[in-house]
Amino acid sequence: MALATIFLLYFLIVKGTRFNFSLVLFLYIPSAIAFGLGLFLRYLKLNSLFKKAILFGFVILFIFATSRRYGEGWFAVFTLVSFVLTSVYLASFKPTNPFIIAVIIFGTVILIPMLESEFSAFILTLPVIIIGGLLSYFTMNQLAKPSISKVSCFLLFFGLLVITPIIWVAQENYAYMHYSTFNTSPQYSYQINMYDLKGEPKRNDKNGISVYLFWSASCSKCKDEFPYFSDLALKYKIRDDINFYAVFVQFKASDSAYLIKETANKYEFEWSIIPEGQHIYDSLIQQGFPHLTIIDQDNKLLYNGIVCNRPWVYVNHPDRFFN
């Protein structure tokens, strides 16, 4: 029953919460399978520790799905901590073969993402799952020993505490590297025609590099980029050859209400708008918002892709184009 519940919650989080008949079928079928699997495991003559390993594998899978909503860094941290805590609990039963237990946990966690995810998303999560499996084996192998010293326990958890921020930063950069697409071809030129907030054509007659952060009303996370983009603009404020614009891409008239709300905030960059934005989305952006484009004084495209201006992101950070 617990396995079926975890399975249902996992698919509900991954696939969304809109209630319709197809969603009911999609949730019912895997949940029924999980419930049947749970009954099968109950009556199967397996080591009880193996059954616990499978159950906790699905618990980690649930945490895996939930934490991805908070970013790739937190996903990596929460997933790896879940692997370690699960291993600490299972090690308390003093398993005779920690390797088999770790393989069961690893296999359970990797199975569903491998079957239902896009290949690119699976590749992005694969290093975390592999490291989690190794941590699981190492933890159980150490704690399952007949005599384990307090110093060893302290070193284990202190080591986890130390590597947590490293894992967080590493996964964030790996994600940006994985999803980042940009074109540095000098033959690729692009002219961006935009307007100010009063609807007047905005002439970009300034010399130097222009940095555009594209956002839209449908992007709930775009506003999270504004403080970082403003910090970047402040960093280069003393340079007259670098200009920063937050460009609102409008698709319908009702989008203007969202624009008015966000532009009430003061930042170091300039606000602008592109009405009837479908053309620029199809020709330049394509992969969704927020989107970053950097163009030089000759309208040549220096960068066009995912926004990489967070302080802890080193992959394709805009700084590389300004020096």
Is residue 104 in some structural domain?
yes
**Same domain for 158 and 73:** yes
| Domain-terminating residue out of 119, 147, 179 | 179
**Same domain for 158 and 86:** yes
**Same domain for 317 and 285:** yes
Mean pLDDT computed over 210-220: 86
Question: Which range of residues forms the domain containing residue 223?
Answer: 194-322
Mean pLDDT computed over 162-168: 82
- Who has greater pLDDT, 290 or 116? 290
Rounded to whole angstroms, the Cα distance separating 247 from 213 reads: 6
pLDDT of 75-101, one tens digit each?
888 888 888 888 888 888 888 888 888
Mean pLDDT computed over 108-121: 68
Helix axes 98-116, 48-67, angle to 10 degrees: 40
Task: Give the pLDDT band (50/70/90) at residue 22.
Answer: very low
pLDDT of res. 59: 80
pLDDT of res. 186: 47
CB 269 within 8 A of CB 245: yes
Average pLDDT, the chain: 75
Rounded to whole angstroms, the Cα distance separating 229 from 247 reads: 12
Q: Which residues share a beta bridge with 243?
A: 210
pLDDT of 234-265, one tens digit each?
988 888 888 898 888 888 877 777 777 777 77
Is residue 291 in some structural domain?
yes
**Same domain for 228 and 130:** no
**Same domain for 200 and 157:** no
Please name which of 181, 205, 199 lies closest in space to residue 299, comparing C-alpha atoms: 205
Question: Cβ of 147: how many Cβ atoms within 10 Å?
Answer: 5
Is residue 18 in some structural domain?
no
pLDDT of 175-214, one tens digit each?
877 776 555 444 466 777 787 777 777 766 567 888 899 8
Task: Give the pLDDT band (50/70/90) at residue 19.
Answer: very low
Mean pLDDT computed over 106-112: 78
pLDDT of 263-276, one tens digit each?
777 888 888 888 87
Rounded to whole angstroms, the Cα distance separating 230 from 246 reads: 9
Give how many domains the chain has, as a whole number.
2
**Same domain for 256 and 148:** no
**Same domain for 174 and 52:** yes
- pTM, to two decimals: 0.67
Q: What is the CATH number of the domain that holds 292?
A: 3.40.30.10
**Same domain for 199 and 318:** yes
Task: Give the pLDDT band (50/70/90) at residue 2.
Answer: low
- CA angle centred on 116, ends 111 and 118, rounded to 5°: 115
